Amino acid sequence: MMILKMKKEDLPAFLESAKEWGELWGPTTKDGKTSYAKVDSLSQMDLKATRTVIPPKKFLYPPRFTMFDFDEEGFVERTGDVPKRILFGLHPCDVHGILIMDKLFLETYKDPYYAERREKTLLLGHSCIPDDKCMCFATNTDFVAEGFDLFFTDLKMFYLVWVGSSKGHDLVRMRADLFSRNLDKNDILNYTEYRKWKTAQFKAKIDLTGMPDIFELGYNSPIWDELGEKCLSCGQCSMVCPTCNCYNVVDEVDLGTAEGTRDRFWDSCMFREYSVVAGGHNFRDKRADRLRLWYTHKLQAFIGEFGKPACVGCGRCVATCPVDINVATVSTALKEQEVGK
Amino acid sequence: MKKMCVVLEDREVQDNPFQPDMWRIVRRYPLTSDVNFYQARPVDVDEALKMNYMPGQFIMLSIPGEGEAPFCISSTPSRPGLLEFCIRRMGTLTSSLFDLKENQTVGIRGPYGNWFPLDKMEGKDIMIVAGGMGVAPLRSLLLYILDNRDKFGRVTYLHGAKNPGEMLFRDEFFQLKEREDLNCLLTVDKDDTGKWTERTGLITTLFKELGPIDSKNTYAAVCGPPIMYKFVMEHLVKLGIPKHQILMTLERRMKCGVGKCGHCAVEYLYTCIDGPVFSWWDVLHMKELIGRGASDKTIA
C-alpha cells in the first residue's frame, strides 16, 4: 500500500480542497456527546474523542430511509438522492465495522441502497486514543489495513497517510503538493514507537479466545436467564453496535390515497416481536433467548462463518447499556459462570 | 493548485433485489374456511415463462400499503406460467391478501432460498409427510415428482389434517389416490362429519401401514406444525432413513428474503438463503432451527 507523509499543519488545507468532492463530516462534541456532524473545517472537529455515540454505519445505512415509492401501479425504486460525503476521523474499529457491513450488504445479493451510499462516501480514517472501554486489542481490530480511502496516523509533527483506494489517491492528487513519498528511518522508528504507545493504553481486561466453544458449552447455562432478568430489551446495544445490521420494513400510506412509501429502519433482535411469525408463534419469546441470539451471533456464529468475531471492540455497548450488559461482561460471565455485579 | 474532477457516477447498473414485480391474481378459491388458494401471473404476460423456481423455494409477496411477507410456492415449475400459493388468514397482511379478488394485482419478488435437492433425490424412493398447512410447500415437490414420475422410485405421500374440513387440497388428493404409481395415505385427527372414508388418527399412525421400506435408498420430506416434527422424526429415524436424507422446510419471520434484514438468523445461517430446506441433521446440530428452547436436552 502507498504510504505518504504530510506535515500536520497542512491537514486543514488538505480538507479544504477535499470539500470540492463532497460534504465534509467529522466528529464534533457537544454537551459531552460526540457525533458526526457536517463541518466547514478541521477546527470544528474533535479528533481527541474516543468514540461517537452512533457508529458511522448510519451514513451507509441510515436509521430510516425510503426504499420505494408506490401507488396502485407498483413500486418505484428511490435511489440517486444521496449526497457525496467525506467522513473524516474514523477510527480503526469504525473501519473494521464497515468492512463487516460490506460483507453483509454487498455479498451474495448486493443491497443497492448500501452500495450507493458506500460509493458516495469517502472514508478518511484517523488514529485514536484508546480509553478504558476500548477492546479492539482483543478483537484484532486495533489497526486497520483496508476498507478506508485514506488513513491518517498522527505521529505528532507529521501524519503518515495510508492510501487505501483509487478514490483516496484522487483526493491526494488534488493537493499533491502537501504530500511526500520520502519516508526515512525516523518515520519507521516513530511509527514503531506509536504502535507500542497505543498498545500500552488499553486498560480493559477481556479475552475472547475460545469464545465459539464457550458459547456452545454455555448454550443451556442459567447465566442467560440471569442476564435476561437484567436486560431491559431496549435495543440500544443494536443501535450503537457497528456490526448490527438488522432492519424492519413498513409501508407508509398517504392518508386517503393508494400512494405511499416502503421504508426501512433499524431493528433489534432484542425486541420482543423480532422473531414472531404469522399466527403469533414467537421463536424467541424470552429476553434470555434474544440476548443469547445477539451475543451468539457476534461472538460465535460470525467466527464460524467469517473467521473473526462480529465485534470490533469499539466499546459502545460498554458505554451505552444501562444495565451493564456488554461484550466484556457477557463473555466474562459465560466463562466464569457468574454474572458480575 | 491543479483542479481535477473525480468521477464516481458510473456505478454499475444492477437489479434491485427488493424490487417487487406486479402480478395479477387470476384465480382464487377457498381450500378451507380460513385458507385460500391463489393463482397469479405477471401483469406483463411476456414475463410469465421467465419465472424459474424449484420446489421448496419461496417468494416475497406484497400489497402496496399493507406490507410484505414470505410465502412458499405451492405450484410446480414443471407446469410453468402460473404461480400458486396458499394463504391462511392470520395477521394484517394475510387478512388483506385473503380478501384479494381475482384481477387484483400484488407485488411479487423471488424466488428465494434453496430447494429440495432433486438431483440427489432422483432414482430414490420418496416419502412426503405433510401436516396441516405443511402441504403448501410439499405440494410443489409432490407435483414435480409426479410430473417426472419415471425419474423416481416408489413415491409415498402421507397427509394429516385436524378434520376433513381442514384438509387442504382434499379433492385433489382424493383424485391422486386413484393413481397406481403413488401410495397416497390420508388421515384426520378426528372425523367430525361422519362421512370421512379414509383413516382417522394422528399422522404417525400411517407409518404402520407402510410395510418394509428401502430406508437407505429413501428421501423423506416433511413439513407441518412444530409439534409434528418430533414424533414424525422419531418414526423416520427408526425406519433407518439417514438423517441427511430427511428434509424439512422451515418458517421464519423475514423482511428481505436475501440475507440482509437478519430476522431469520439461526446461528450462522439465514433461513432465507441457507434454507428454508434443511435436513434433520442440520436441525439436530444447529440449535433453534425448529425452535428448541434452552431446556431441551434430547440427544436422539
Question: Is the same domain home to A194 and A217?
Answer: no
Q: How confident is the model at residue A341 (pLDDT cuts 50, 70, 90)?
A: low
Q: Return d(Cα A164, Cα A181) in angstroms, integer.
A: 15
In chain B, which residues have their Cβ closer than 8 Å to the Cβ of A227? none
Same domain assignment for residues A220 and A176: no
A227-256 average pLDDT score? 94
B16 occurs within a structural domain: no
pLDDT tens, position by position, A93-144: 999 999 999 999 998 889 999 999 999 999 999 999 999 999 999 999 999 9
- Chain B residue at shortest CA distance from A272: B263
* B45 vs A63, more confident: A63
> Under a CB-based contact definition with an 8 Å cutoff, are residues B122 and B75 in contact?
no
CA triple B81-B138-B46, angle to 5 deg: 10
In a domain, B10, yes or no: no
B271 and B218 share one domain: no
A206 occurs within a structural domain: no
Residues on chain B touching A297 (C-beta within 8 angstroms)? 265, 267-268
| Number of residues assigned to chain B | 300
- Could you write out the DSSP letters of every residue in B118-134? HHHHTTSEEEEEEEGGG
The reply to whether A130 and A191 lie within a common domain is: yes
pLDDT band at A303 (very low <50, low <70, confident <90, very high): confident
Across the interface, which of A84, A173, A296 has its CB nearest the CB of B4? A173
Residue at which a domain ends, from A171, A200, A229: A200
Per DSSP, B207 falls in state: G
Closest chain A residue to B296 measured between Cα atoms? A220
Chain A residues within an 8 Å CB radius of B14 = 110, 112
ipTM of the prediction greater than 0.95, yes or no: no
Separation in Å, CA of B167 to nearest CA in chain A: 18
Mutate to test the interface with B, among A113, A241, A277, A334 (most CBs of B within 10 A): A277
CA distance B16 to B109: 10
CA distance linking residue B159 with residue A27, whole number of Å: 62
Pick among A262, A263, A264 to test the B interface (most B CBs inside 10 A): A262
Closest residue to B65, CB basis, from A105, A251, A297: A251
The arithmetic mean of pLDDT across residues A66-95, rounded, is 94
Q: Is the per-residue pLDDT at B12 higher than 70?
A: no
Picking from B8, B60, B68 by the largest number of A CB atoms within 10 A of its own CB, the best residue to mutate is: B8
Using CB atoms, pick whichever of B68, B107, B273 lies closest to residue A74: B107
Final residue of a domain: which of A166, A200, A234?
A200
Q: Among residues of chain B, what percentage have pLDDT more than 70?
A: 91
**pLDDT at position A250:** 94
pLDDT at A302 over 90: no
Measure in Å the smallest separation between the Cα of A310 and chain B Cα atoms. Answer: 11
Q: Give the cell for residue A203.
A: 486498560
Residue of B3, B65, B107 with shortest CB distance to A258: B65
CB-nearest partner of A246 from B20, B262, B291: B262
For residue B1, pLDDT over 70 is answered with no
Instruction: Specify whether the CB–CB gap between B42 and B48 falls below 8 A.
Output: yes
Distance from C-alpha of A312 to C-alpha of A239, rounded to nearest angstrom: 15
What domain count does chain B have? 3
Best of B44, B94, B260, B284 to mutate (most A CBs within 10 Å, chain A): B260
Q: Do B291 and A283 touch (CB under 8 A)?
A: yes
Question: Which residue would you say has higher pLDDT here, B270 or B142?
Answer: B142
B64, B253, B297 ranked by CB distance to A251: nearest: B64
Q: Could you read off the pLDDT of A136-173 as tens digits, one per residue?
A: 999 999 999 999 999 999 999 999 999 999 999 999 99
Look up the domain containing B285 and give its range. Answer: 250-292+296-300
Nearest chain B alpha carbon to A259: B65
CA distance B52 to chain A (A): 17
Running DSSP on this structure, what letter comes out for residue A82? P
Taking an 8 Å cut-off on Cβ atoms, the answer to whether A112 and B14 are in contact is yes
- Is residue B9 included in any domain, yes or no? no
For CA atoms B111, B141, B127, B223, the dihedral sign is: positive
Domain identity same for A326 and A256? yes
As for how many domains chain A has, the answer is 2
> Grid cell 435476561 — which residue?
A228
Determine the average pLDDT of the residues in B122-128.
97
Residue B299's SS3 state is: coil
Give the nearest chain A residue to B4 (CA atoms): A174
Does the pLDDT of residue A33 top 90, yes or no? yes
Task: Using CB atoms, pick whichever of A72, A115, A175 lies closest to residue B1.
Answer: A175
What is the pLDDT, as a whole number, of residue B14? 55
pTM: 0.90
Contact A278 B66 (CB under 8 A): no
Contact B22 A74 (CB under 8 A): yes
Question: What local confidence, expressed as pLDDT, does residue B9 receive?
Answer: 40
CB-based contact B226 A281, cutoff 8 Å: yes
Share of chain A above pLDDT 90, in %: 79
Residue A251 phi, psi (nearest 5):
-95, 125
- To test the contact with chain A by mutation, choose from B263, B272, B287, B292 the residue with the greatest count of A C-beta atoms within 10 A, namely B263
Structure-model confidence comparison of residues A159 and B11, the more confident one:
A159
Q: Are B43 and B69 members of one domain?
A: yes
Inter-chain Cβ pairs, chain A and chain B, closer than 8 A: 150
Question: For residue B3, is it within any domain?
Answer: no
CB contact under 8 A, A112 and B94: no
CA A50/CA B219 separation, integer angstroms: 57
Full residue range of the structural domain in which residue A17 is found: 2-60+74-200
> Which pLDDT value is given to residue B298?
53
| Nearest CB to A110; choose among B14, B66, B88 | B14
Q: Are residues A7 and A140 in the same domain?
A: yes
As given in the structure block, the three cell numbers for residue A313 are 471492540
Residues A170 and A244 in one domain: no
> B155 lies in a domain?
yes
pLDDT level of residue B284 (50, 70, 90 thresholds): confident
Claim to verify: residue B254 and residue B235 sit in the same structural domain = no
What's the pLDDT tens digit per position in B105-114? 999 999 999 9
Query: Poorest-confidence range of A5-19, A183-197, A281-295?
Result: A281-295
In terms of domains, do A257 and A196 share one?
Answer: no
Phi and psi torsions of B41, nearest 5°: -140, 155
- Put simply, the answer to whether A278 touches B94 (Cβ < 8 Å) is yes
Whether residue A194 is found in the same domain as residue A240:
no
In this structure, the answer to whether residues A289 and A166 fall within a common structural domain is no
In chain B, residues with a C-beta closer than 8 Å to the C-beta of A245 are 260, 262
Residue A205 lies in a domain: no
The DSSP output letter for A282 is B
Length of chain A: 341
